[in-house]
Amino acid sequence: MKKILLVFGTRPEAIKMCPLVIELKQRENFDVVVCVSGQHKEMLQEVLNVFGVTPNYNLAIMKENQDLFDITINILGRIRMILSQEKPDIVLVHGDTTTAFATALACFYMKIPIGHVEAGLRTYDMDAPYPEEMNRQFISLVAKYNFVPTERARQNLLSEKKNPASIFVTGNTVIDAMKTTIEKQYFNPVLEWVGENRLILLTAHRRENIGNPMQNIFRAIKRITVENPNVRVIYPIHMNPTVRKICSEILKDNSQVKIIEPLNVVDFHNMMAQSYLIVTDSGGIQEEAPALGKPVIVCRDTTERPEGVEAGTLLLAGTKEESIYCAINKLLHDEKEYVKMSHAVNPYGDGHACRKIADVLEG
Ligand code: UD1
Ligand code: UDP
């Protein structure tokens, strides 16, 4: 019996790790233990509820306006005892959050093997995304198993001289998650407010965008609503108080913008499917939207998801008001361009990533 400890702590990690928890628990050869860092609180709990996953441990580290020291120090301090107590054969972490980084560092100190899910994503720019690029490069330094979503991610690791035998192309577990969340007949009361208008779904939260770039995103949206009476914007706003403050300065009292609490993942995926286009600085949404054939204006200067750009679904618009405005405006008024960007493609696998990861771990 192999003891596998999965550690995650934010909404996107939970969305991508819960299907793996479920898959591993179905197998007889694994003793599965789940530890959440609680880097997120409400936004994490929503996902755990959707997937019916109850963690064995919750480090409950979140505090308002936490900084990177808070997250790192508190996880390192609290996870040590759990690792000593549980003595897992392997610890699985996901992606590039500070939860994943601090956990990998703790495992490295304790010589516990690490499996990295969603490995190999890179911008090679330490400032964007910040601090995620450093987090994921560090995890790659110490991981024993690298579960990469795409061939390109594998190539990134090979170019960094990682052992080819440690790399497994599995697809992204978010595609596994989407098999359970997308509903054929979906209804949400907020869609009545949208009516026959065009729905833009908006999200923004990146640390490096806080300040001017985020103001630019909201200003571009404001301009679009003023010039296009047939546009409605739904913004399930991140719980970060700084994001909320910037948003309310620019978008409050705009009758074409509905700012709502974060949606649970089922609602969010289905809302994506109902939208005309998506404006975001999120990482995960760049993987989900191509599968749904929804154009995404990515409000960032770089992306670690070039597969979606090449497939034509993602447009990297930068973080200037003018460039974001022009990108949205083009999609609203240039039918040909819109059609070109709205073909459903799925560079992120066949929805069997969890099975493939479990097979490797079993082997
Ligand atoms: C974190 C990750 C980022 C990921 C994002 C997903 C790091 C450094 N950042 O960034 O990679 O893209 O999650 O959303 O790992 N808050 C709540 N309740 C919640 C969640 C957050 O109140 O359930 C508030 C808290 O005040 C918290 C703040 O949001 O201090 C910021 O959360 P934090 O995890 O530090 O940063 P994110 O921007 O969410
Ligand atoms: N998401 C959600 N509710 C929302 C907004 C996003 O469930 O209100 C989901 C979305 O479908 C994706 C993930 O959260 O799976 C992305 O999270 P986020 O943008 O916070 O983080 P990132 O992917 O940038 O790390």
Per-residue pLDDT tens for 287-328?
999 999 999 999 999 999 999 999 999 999 999 999 999 999
The tally of domains found in the chain comes to 2
8 Å CB contact between 54 and 48: yes
Ligand nearest to the CA of 9: 1
Residue 281 is predicted with a pLDDT of: 98
- Ligand 2 cavity residues, CB under 6 Å: 11-12, 15, 203, 205, 236, 262-263, 265, 268-269, 282-285, 288
8 Å CB contact between 325 and 231: no
Instruction: Say yes or no to pLDDT of 201 above 90.
Output: yes
What does R_g of the chain's alpha carbons equal in angstroms?
A: 20
Residue 343 is predicted with a pLDDT of: 87
Q: State which of 234, 265, 267, 287 you would mutate to test the pocket of ligand 2, scoring each by most atoms of that ligand within 8 A of its C-beta.
A: 265
Residue 345 is predicted with a pLDDT of: 85
Give yes or no: residues 108 and 242 share one domain: no
Average pLDDT, the chain: 97
Instruction: Say yes or no to pLDDT of 346 above 90.
Output: no
CATH number, position 213? 3.40.50.2000
Give yes or no: residues 49 and 118 share one domain: yes
Structural domain contains residue 49: yes
pTM: 0.98
Full residue range of the structural domain in which residue 320 is found: 189-342
Stretch 109-138: mean pLDDT: 98
8 Å CB contact between 206 and 129: yes
CA of 184 to the centre of ligand 1 (A): 31
pLDDT tens digits, residue range 246-265? 999 999 999 999 999 999 99
Instruction: Give the residue numbers marked as catalytic.
Output: 96, 118, 132, 205, 207, 238
Structural domain contains residue 202: yes
The pLDDT-based confidence of 344 (bands split at 50, 70, 90) is confident
8 Å CB contact between 4 and 20: no
Give yes or no: residues 291 and 158 share one domain: no
Structural domain contains residue 184: no
CA of 19 to the centre of ligand 2 (A): 16
Structural domain contains residue 259: yes
Give yes or no: residues 255 and 143 share one domain: no
